[in-house]
Amino acid sequence: MLPADFLENTVASYFTFPVTAEYMRQSRYYHANSNTYYLDGIGSTATLVVTDVKTQENRTTLTLSGYILSSFEYYYWEDTLVVEAAGDSWRYVSLDHGETGYIAKEDAFA
C-alpha cells in the first residue's frame, strides 16, 4: 500500500497537464478509509494491445484492449486514445474509457 499523497504527486510529475487527486481517487486501487492505493503489481501481468488505428489528417485514434491477470482477479478494458502530431512528437488529446470488466479470481477460474 502506498500513501495517496506520495503516489498522486509522483504520477502528476510525469504529465504536463493537471492530474488531480480527485480524478486518481476514482481508481479501483484507491482505498478512502486508509487514504492509500493498493497496487497489485507483484504476481500479476498486464497485457495491452493496440487493436485498431485510424488516422485523419494530423489526428490518430488508437483502440487499446488490455487485461490484468493476477493472483486475485481478472480485469479487462477497452479504451480509445486520441493523439495529434505536433512537430516531431505527439500531443495528447483524449482518453475515453470504454467497456471494462472485473471478475474475482474465484469466479473467473472456478
Q: How far apart are CA 85 and CA 58, in angstroms?
A: 5
pTM (predicted TM-score): 0.50
Each residue's pLDDT tens digit in the chain (110 positions)? 788 999 888 888 888 778 889 988 888 788 899 998 877 555 556 788 899 999 999 999 999 888 877 656 677 888 899 999 988 889 999 998 877 766 555 544 44
C-alpha 79/C-alpha 43 separation (Å) is: 24
CB 100 within 8 A of CB 71: no
Task: For residue 31, give the C-alpha cell.
Answer: 482505498
* DSSP string computed for 39-103: ---TT-EEEEEEEEEEEETTEEEEEEEEEEE-SSEEEEEEEEEEEEEETTEEEEEEEEEEEEEEE
